[in-house]
Structure 1
Amino acid sequence: MTSASDEAGAARAVNPPGGRHRPLSVALSGGFRLVLDGGAVELPFGAQRLVALLALRGRMGRSAPAGTLWPETEEQRALARLRTALWRVKQTVPELIVCAGSRIDLAPGVEVDVRAQIDRSMSVLHGTAVEPGSWTSVVPDGDLLPDWEDDWLTDDRERLRQLRLHVLEDLAEQFCAKGRFGLAVDAALTALLAPYVSPPQPRPQSAPAAATPRAASQTLPGRPPTPFHPPSPSPHRPPVPVHGAGRLV
């Protein structure tokens, strides 16, 4: 449980005494970006990994990020690497991470693009209508840290990919119901042709449900998995070429 002194310390971190509030944001879609007061900030890669983990998982005890980021390292050495990463973050952006006892987290008020994308997507999945002219703004944009090869990112990456597919399917259904068939085709094709959506990698576990990409979507609240069956071309007419889909509106 967070104490009053911890909350006061977090407030001081984001709003330094005698200084104004400096907006901070962390972007993980398409690559790591840290922006402070409108300007890009460079962090060492080890520090980037720590910030990304906290952005995705939230508050953690120190042993959890140490074991996640350096799983093949002896515990004390992993904790030492964590302390080094924290020190480097504090040297560059002291208000980014808050340490409260044995737990660490991003400071309150730090904006994270993935969190905002998930909130918008879940709003659509729970029935919020989307304006036809702005439907692309509610779709998670870009893969999660595509150039990183960390194993701990696999589940987060797959969850966002499946979330994106579900949102696009819902949008296609919404547009069909409104008679906006051109937009429905655009949304459906975006789901089908997304270059970064890949089949799941085999994992050493016995649960057969983990073998299909749709099974991963069962973790999304209120959204049962639904198989996608691509339409078969009519035998009486040739299929419509997809390159003109964007002009059907």
Structure 2
Amino acid sequence: MSQGARLEILRPFQVTCGGRRVAISTGAQRLLAFLALRREGTHRRSAAEQLWPDCTSCRAAANLRSALCQGRKLGSAPAIDLAGHSLVLASSLSVDFHDACDAAHRLVSGDGTFCDGDQLVADLSQVLLPGWDDEWLLLERERWDQLRLYALEALEALAQSFQTEGRHLSALQASLAAASIDPFRETPHRIAVEVHLAEGNVACAVKRYQDYQRLLRRELKVAPSPRLTRLVRDLTRT
């Protein structure tokens, strides 16, 4: 596959080579996505059975051969490596999902810093293969959702740590990133309000609270917690 080849599965499925989108068959799309979610590779029979569960074993194997043939023709180098009866995505094909998972794991483990926050937030806000209803995707989506949750909690902890250390800008960036991932969670909004108050930005603190309050009323018909409300209660009295 040519340099710059990339597979995207956190947004509508897409393969690009040299910045240009590559059109491939539905079967090849499903095979590439299936292998992208199994970085260690998988047995051909297992791939055929899971990708075409309603077909006979012979038909599923034939479908796999067709998808494999089409999926390996994306460029000068194959997108799928063959090792006996095993299939694995070629290392020359970068995958947005892999990048997002690696970044999220670094954040959760504390090995990385919040240096590429915009990209991480954008990735963590995405649904895995939107619009696909394949049964083999259910467990993978659950795993992705769990990782997103852990990453969100790590962002909140990072924001709180920055706030405690007096690193207000970093705390605000991390809290806003967490709020972007899950706008209904109160913790990042509370931290953002606390940061604004610590910096003396009363108007910003009140606005952040009121925006969150309106969101909860409009979407969930509930109010912010007493803890958050107490932070701005005296500021909003007229």
| Equivalent residue in structure 1 for 2:172, among 159, 179, 182 | 182
Q: What is the 5 A alignment of 1:13-52?
A: 14=1, 22-52=3-33
Q: Contact 2:25–2:70 (CA<8 Å) still a contact in 1?
A: yes
Rate the CA distance shift 1:22–1:235 in 2: closer, same or farther, 3 A: closer
Unpaired stretches in structure 1, ≥5 consecutive residues: 1-13, 15-20, 195-229, 241-249
2:38 to 43, 47, 57: 57
Deviation at 1:108, TM superposition (A): 2.3
Equivalent residue, structure 1, for 2:106: 123
State the Cα distance separating 1:231 from its structure 2 match: 7.0
Name the Cα RMSD after superposition. Answer: 2.6
Contact between 2:28 and 2:71, CA under 8 Å: does it hold in 1? Answer: yes
Structure 2 residue runs of 5 or longer lacking an equivalent are 185-222, 234-238
Q: In the alignment, is the contact (CA less than 8 A) between 2:73 and 2:79 conserved in 1? A: no
Calculate the TM-score normalised by the size of structure 1.
Answer: 0.66
Q: Percent identity?
A: 32
Q: Equivalences for 1:157-172 in 2 at 5 Å?
A: 157-172=141-156
The structure having more radius of gyration, on CA atoms, is: 2
Is residue 173–residue 184 contact of structure 1 (8 Å, CA) maintained in 2?
Answer: no
Aligned residues, how many? 185
Distance 2:228 2:74 in 1: 64
Residue 35 of structure 1 aligns to which amino acid in structure 2?
T
- Rounded Cα–Cα distance in structure 2 between residues aligned with 1:66 and 1:236: 55
2:61 aligns to what? 79
Deviation at 1:236, TM superposition (A): 7.1
DSSP-derived class of the 1:57 partner: coil
Distance across 2 between alignment mates of 1:29 and 1:235: 34
The answer to whether the Cα contact below 8 Å between 1:169 and 1:191 also exists between their aligned partners in 2 is: no
Partner residue in 1 for 2:82: 99
1:232 correspondence with 2:213: no
Q: 1:61·1:102 contact (CA, 8 Å) conserved in 2?
A: yes
Q: Partner of 1:178: helix, strand, or coil?
A: helix
1:120-171 deviation per Cα after TM superposition (whole angstroms, max 9, x unaligned):
111111113534x642333424111111111111111121122112112211
1:55 and 1:138 map into 2 onto residues whose CA distance is 19
Given that residues 172 and 183 in structure 1 are in contact (C-alpha distance below 8 angstroms), is that contact kept between their aligned partners in structure 2? no
Amino acid at match of 2:159: F
What secondary structure sits across from 2:37 in the alignment?
helix
Q: Distance in 2 between matches of 1:235 and 1:87?
A: 58
Cα distance, 1:233–1:83 mapped onto 2, change above 3 Å: same
Opposite residue 168 of structure 1, the aligned amino acid is L
Matched, 1:147 2:131: yes
* 8 Å contact kept, 1:172–1:184: yes
Going from structure 1 to structure 2, the CA distance change for 1:170 and 1:76 (only over 3 Å counts) comes to: same
Structure 1's 41 and 189: CA in aligned 2 closer, same or farther, altered over 3 A? same
1-side partners of 2:181 and 2:125: how far apart? Answer: 12
TM-score (norm 2): 0.68
Equivalent-residue separation in structure 2 for 1:70 and 1:47 (angstroms): 12
Distance 1:78 1:183 in 2: 49
Comparing 50-59 with 99-108, greater Cα deviation is found at: 99-108
Q: Aligned to 2:33, what secondary structure does the other structure show?
A: helix
Aligned equivalents of 2:10 and 2:162: distance in 1? 31
- Superposed displacement of residue 193, structure 1: 2.8
